[in-house]
C-alpha cells in the first residue's frame, strides 16, 4: 500500500463515518437478522462503498464483510465490520465504530477503527505502532487491585457460561464493563481505558483491527486466527500482558 492509498483509505473511512451519522439522523431503515441483531441501511452503505473502493485499489485482494460475506482473492483479505455496535448506533448512543483490517498469510498487517461520535480514529500497521488521532499508544500494566476488563457476550454461548465467567472475574477482584461493541472495546484496551477484552465467541470482523492495535501498543492476544478463526470466529482475549496471563487462569473457555 502506498502512502497515497493509505491516506485515501483513511479519508474515505472518515467520510463514511460522517455519512453513517447523516443517515441515522435522517431516520434509518432497519432490518432484523435475529434476536437483538440488526442491520441498518448505514451498515449496507458503508460496506458497499468500502468494498468497491478496495476492489478498485487492490484488485488482487479478497474481501470479507459482515453483511456481504467472502470474496476470495489471490493475495490478502480485507475484513470489515461496517458498523460494529449497530444496536447502539440506531439508538443514538456514541459507542459504535467502523472496523477494517487487512490480513495476509495469517498475519494482521493493518487495522483501522473509527468511532465518529467520539471523534476517535485508531490506526495501526504491523511493526509501525498503534495511534489514536495521531498520538502513539503505549500500554501500561495496571496495579493488581485496579484491573478493569471489557467483556462481551455472544448468543452462540450460554447465559450460564457468561455468568460463570463474570463470577470468576469478580471473585478475583477484577471489575468489568460491557458496552455492546467489541471492536471499539478492543480499541479502548489499546488506548488504556480498560486493561483487556474477553469474549467466548466473536467474529473476525469484530476483532482483527483491535488485536493489531493492542499488540502494536505493547500488549498480548490469543492466536485468534487459529482453527479457521477468520471465517468461523473464535474466542478472543487481548490486553496488557500481565492481565491477559491472569485472566487465562480464570476464564472457563481458556483453562487447560
State which H helix or E strand residue 83 sits in: strand 77-84
Q: Which of the following CATH numbers is that of domain 144-248: 3.40.190.80, 3.90.950.20, 3.40.50.880, 3.40.50.1000?
A: 3.40.190.80
The predicted structure's pLDDT at residue 256 = 43
Residue 36: which pLDDT band, with cuts at 50, 70 and 90?
very low
Q: Which of 61, 67, 206, 216 is catalytic?
A: 206
What DSSP letter does each residue of 227-244 carry, written as one string? TTHHHH-EEEEEESHHHH
The answer to whether 206 is a known catalytic residue is: yes
Higher pLDDT, 43 or 96: 96
The answer to whether 117 is a known catalytic residue is: no
> For the domain 3-136, what is the CATH superfamily, name and number?
Fructose-1,6-Bisphosphatase, subunit A, domain 1 (3.30.540.10)
- Locate CATH 3.40.190.80 in the chain: 144-248
* Average pLDDT score, the chain: 92
Q: Which of 67, 81, 199, 216 is catalytic?
A: 81
Q: Which of 13, 83, 90, 174 is catalytic?
A: 83
User: Which among 27-31, 39-43, 110-114, 149-153 has the top mean pLDDT?
Assistant: 110-114
- Locate CATH 3.30.540.10 in the chain: 3-136
CA proximity to 122, closest of 107, 100, 142: 100
State which H helix or E strand residue 21 sits in: helix 3-26
- Between the alpha carbon of residue 196 and those of residues 9, 42, 245, the distances in Å are 28, 29, 10
Residue 11 has pLDDT above 90, yes or no: yes
Q: Which of 43, 61, 66, 216 is catalytic?
A: 66
pLDDT in tens, 138-190: 999 999 999 999 999 888 888 988 998 999 999 999 999 999 999 999 999 99
The predicted structure's pLDDT at residue 155 = 82
The answer to whether 84 is a known catalytic residue is: yes
pLDDT in tens, 59-81: 999 999 988 889 988 889 999 99
The answer to whether 86 is a known catalytic residue is: yes
pTM for this entry = 0.93
The answer to whether 214 is a known catalytic residue is: no
Q: Which of 43, 47, 67, 84 is catalytic?
A: 84
Amino acid at each position: 500500500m502506498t502512502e497515497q492509498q493509505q491516506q485515501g483509505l483513511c479519508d474515505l473511512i472518515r467520510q463514511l463515518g460522517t455519512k453513517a451519522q447523516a443517515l441515522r439522523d435522517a431516520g434509518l431503515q432497519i432490518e432484523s437478522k435475529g434476536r437483538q441483531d440488526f442491520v441498518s441501511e448505514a451498515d449496507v452503505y458503508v460496506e458497499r462503498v468500502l468494498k468497491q473502493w478496495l476492489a478498485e485499489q487492490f484488485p488482487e485482494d479478497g474481501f470479507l464483510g459482515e453483511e456481504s460475506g467472502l470474496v476470495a482473492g489471490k493475495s490478502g483479505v480485507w475484513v470489515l465490520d461496517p458498523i460494529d455496535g449497530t444496536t447502539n448506533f440506531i439508538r443514538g448512543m456514541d459507542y459504535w465504530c467502523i472496523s477494517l483490517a487487512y490480513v495476509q498469510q495469517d498475519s494482521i498487517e493493518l487495522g483501522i477503527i473509527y468511532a465518529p461520535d467520539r471523534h476517535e480514529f485508531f490506526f495501526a500497521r504491523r511493526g509501525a505502532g498503534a495511534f489514536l488521532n495521531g498520538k502513539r499508544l503505549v500500554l501500561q500494566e495496571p496495579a493488581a487491585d485496579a484491573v478493569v476488563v471489557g467483556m462481551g457476550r455472544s448468543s452462540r454461548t450460554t447465559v450460564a457460561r457468561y455468568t460463570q465467567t463474570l463470577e470468576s472475574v469478580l471473585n478475583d477482584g477484577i471489575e468489568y464493563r460491557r458496552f455492546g461493541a467489541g471492536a471499539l472495546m478492543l480499541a479502548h484496551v489499546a488506548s488504556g481505558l480498560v486493561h483487556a477484552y474477553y469474549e467466548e465467541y466473536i467474529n473476525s470482523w469484530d476483532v482483527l483491527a483491535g488485536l493489531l492495535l493492542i499488540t502494536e501498543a505493547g500488549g498480548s492476544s490469543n492466536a485468534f486466527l487459529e482453527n479457521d478463526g477468520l471465517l468461523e470466529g473464535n474466542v478472543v482475549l487481548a490486553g496488557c500482558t500481565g492481565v491477559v496471563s491472569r485472566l487465562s487462569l480464570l476464564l472457563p473457555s481458556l483453562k487447560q
